[in-house]
């Protein structure tokens, strides 16, 4: 046991110190509306309809949901938010959260945006990582076809090769800019192909230090073993391995598809099994930290506590560049700001993009923060607690 072993994640004074009273009241309003599942459901449909009819709802969304969960409409437009985070020692991972056009042109545009982020990040020490979604730069259908082992036409082969070329271009630039690079995980039906590409990148770019990070979703029963296998394959070539560890965001979709197509459900049987594998993966990383770097992408307090304890046991410095904690902007400030105040490396995913184009992202966050079985979200409860504390001062 260490002095760290009981982190006070209820310390709302630290969690919300970066927010003025007015900002906190605004967050409170946003969460109080999101607390009602039927409003979120109706609101999503109404907003989509209103936008389709060109009704002026953009301003309202921008001042509420968008302002809470996004940095701005562009990289530069997110600067004020990044500065506020940096003021509390919390770093930024700029996430272009626009679900772009699924076309070769759309993928090329995403590469250009990624290069802009990379060059911008170079000038800003508070941006340690760049990040990209595989389907932002290539067709999910094509990746799936490859995973199934189905033959490509020459034209498909060309488009498939282009996916790796795009990744390679962005990573080469990130490495030149001395920025770490994470590839998000999406659906299981093409993840093996993504893994292979990322290992190839690691063997090229992780020679001197771990720049390229693959993502493992520990809600999959295969992920822990996949991560260990990947680690062995990459480190056998003398290169560093690096992973972003998450639980996974597509559970329902994965289960529905498995049932529909009649294959084994790729998801763990219980939440507890996911939690256990998540922590097992953290322990593996820390045990192999000489050749392994990690970013724990989680809002789970127990997992953060566990990683902190593992670091202390192994004598790893809090600010060791090989260990990062990451949360989404507007969520789990009680974890991010607390850990940062204690000296750990913490970064927030800061989504950005034009309001109307980040709506799917905003609706997902709204759904995640509605009350479940009549119980308000943790975020809402903590904001209420902090408002009460400030009032009583």
Ligand X SMILES: Cc1cc2nc3c(=O)[nH]c(=O)nc-3n(C[C@H](O)[C@H](O)[C@H](O)COP(=O)(O)OP(=O)(O)OC[C@H]3O[C@@H](n4cnc5c(N)ncnc54)[C@H](O)[C@@H]3O)c2cc1C
Q: Tell whether residue 299 is a contact of ligand X (CB under 6 A).
A: yes
The CB-of-315 to ligand X minimum distance in angstroms stands at 26
Give SS3 for 201: helix
Q: Tell whether residue 333 is a contact of ligand X (CB under 6 A).
A: no
The CB-of-209 to ligand X minimum distance in angstroms stands at 21
Site for ligand X in 372-391 (CB under 6 A): none
Site for ligand X in 128-187 (CB under 6 A): 184-185
The CB-nearest residue to ligand X is 297
- How far apart CA 160 and CA 372 sit, in angstroms, is 41
Residue from 100, 210, 297, 330 touching ligand X (CB under 6 A): that is 297
Residue from 205, 216, 292, 349 touching ligand X (CB under 6 A): that is 349
- How far apart CA 228 and CA 243 sit, in angstroms, is 11
Stretch of 26-34, 58-66, 215-223, 228-236 contacting ligand X, by CB under 6 A: 215-223
- How far apart CA 5 and CA 305 sit, in angstroms, is 7
Residue from 247, 322, 338, 365 touching ligand X (CB under 6 A): that is 247
- Nearer of residues 57 and 194 to ligand X, judged by Cβ: 194
Angle at 52 between CA 49 and CA 53, to 5 degrees: 90
Contact present, 129 and 95 (Cβ < 8 Å): no
Q: What is the dihedral of CA 264, 269, 273, 277, to 10 degrees?
A: 20
Contact present, 27 and 19 (Cβ < 8 Å): yes
- How far apart CA 356 and CA 47 sit, in angstroms, is 10
- How far apart CA 297 and CA 346 sit, in angstroms, is 10
- Nearer of residues 48 and 226 to ligand X, judged by Cβ: 226
Residue from 47, 214, 279, 327 touching ligand X (CB under 6 A): that is 327
Stretch of 28-36, 206-214, 291-299, 310-318 contacting ligand X, by CB under 6 A: 291-299
The CB-of-150 to ligand X minimum distance in angstroms stands at 25
184-195 burial, b for 16+ CB within 10 Å, e for fewer? bbbbbbbbebbb
- How far apart CA 275 and CA 252 sit, in angstroms, is 17
Residue from 274, 279, 336, 370 touching ligand X (CB under 6 A): that is 274
- C-alpha to C-alpha distances, 245 to 45, 94, 185, 276, 384, nearest whole angstrom: 33, 18, 10, 13, 30
Stretch of 47-55, 111-119, 137-145, 321-329 contacting ligand X, by CB under 6 A: 321-329
Q: Tell whether residue 249 is a contact of ligand X (CB under 6 A).
A: yes
Q: How many residues bind ligand X (CB under 6 A)?
A: 24
Q: Tell whether residue 300 is a contact of ligand X (CB under 6 A).
A: yes
Q: Tell whether residue 217 is a contact of ligand X (CB under 6 A).
A: yes
Stretch of 171-179, 199-207, 241-249, 336-344 contacting ligand X, by CB under 6 A: 241-249
The CB-of-175 to ligand X minimum distance in angstroms stands at 20
The CB-of-267 to ligand X minimum distance in angstroms stands at 5
- How far apart CA 31 and CA 28 sit, in angstroms, is 5
Stretch of 7-15, 83-91, 282-290, 293-301 contacting ligand X, by CB under 6 A: 293-301
How many CA atoms, within 13 angstroms, populate the side-chain half-sphere of residue 126? 19
How many CA atoms, within 13 angstroms, populate the side-chain half-sphere of residue 307? 31
Q: Tell whether residue 195 is a contact of ligand X (CB under 6 A).
A: no
- The side-by-side arrangement of strands in the sheet containing 180-183 is 91-96, 346-352, 323-328, 292-297, 241-246, 212-217, 180-183, 129-132
- Nearer of residues 57 and 295 to ligand X, judged by Cβ: 295
Q: Tell whether residue 219 is a contact of ligand X (CB under 6 A).
A: yes
Q: Tell whether residue 246 is a contact of ligand X (CB under 6 A).
A: yes
Contact present, 218 and 277 (Cβ < 8 Å): yes
- Nearer of residues 173 and 327 to ligand X, judged by Cβ: 327
Which residues are near ligand X by CB under 6 A?
Answer: 184-185, 215, 217, 219, 246-251, 267-268, 270-271, 274, 297-300, 326-328, 349
């Amino acid at each position: 046991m260490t002095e760290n072993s009981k982190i006070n994640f209820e310390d709302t004074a630290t969690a919300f110190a970066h927010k003025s009273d007015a900002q906190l009241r605004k967050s409170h309003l946003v969460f109080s509306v999101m607390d009602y599942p039927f409003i979120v459901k109706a609101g999503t449909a109404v907003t989509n309809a209103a936008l389709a009819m060109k009704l002026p709802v953009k301003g309202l969304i921008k001042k509420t949901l968008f302002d809470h969960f996004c940095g701005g409409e562009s990289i530069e437009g997110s600067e004020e938010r990044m500065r506020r985070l940096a003021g509390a020692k919390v770093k930024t991972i700029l996430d272009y959260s626009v679900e772009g056009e699924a076309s070769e042109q759309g993928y090329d545009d995403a590469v250009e945006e990624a290069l802009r982020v990379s060059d911008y990040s170079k000038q800003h020490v508070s941006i340690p990582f760049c990040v990209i979604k595989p389907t932002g730069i290539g067709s999910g259908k094509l990746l799936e076809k490859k995973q199934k082992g189905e033959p490509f036409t020459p034209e498909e082969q060309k488009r498939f090769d282009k996916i790796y070329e795009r990744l390679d271009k962005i990573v080469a630039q990130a490495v030149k800019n001395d920025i770490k690079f994470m590839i998000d995980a999406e659906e299981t039906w093409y993840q093996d192909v993504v893994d292979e590409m990322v290992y190839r990148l690691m063997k090229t770019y992780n020679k001197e230090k771990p720049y390229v990070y693959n993502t493992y979703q520990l809600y999959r029963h295969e992920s822990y073993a996949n991560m260990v296998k990947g680690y062995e394959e990459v480190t056998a070539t003398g290169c560093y391995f690096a992973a972003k560890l998450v639980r996974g965001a597509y559970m329902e979709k994965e289960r529905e598809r498995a049932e529909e197509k009649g294959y084994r459900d790729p998801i763990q049987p219980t939440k507890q099994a996911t939690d256990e594998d998540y922590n097992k993966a953290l322990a593996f990383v820390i045990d192999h930290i000489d050749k392994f770097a990690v970013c724990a992408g989680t809002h789970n307090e127990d997992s953060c506590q566990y990683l902190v304890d593992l670091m202390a046991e192994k004598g790893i410095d809090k600010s060791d560049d090989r260990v990062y904690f990451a949360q989404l902007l507007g969520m789990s400030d009680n974890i991010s700001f607390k850990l940062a105040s204690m000296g750990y490396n913490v970064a927030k995913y800061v989504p950005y993009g034009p309001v109307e184009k980040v709506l799917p992202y905003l609706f997902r966050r709204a759904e995640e923060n509605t009350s479940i079985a009549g119980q308000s979200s943790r975020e809402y409860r903590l904001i209420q607690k902090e408002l009460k504390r400030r009032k009583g001062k």
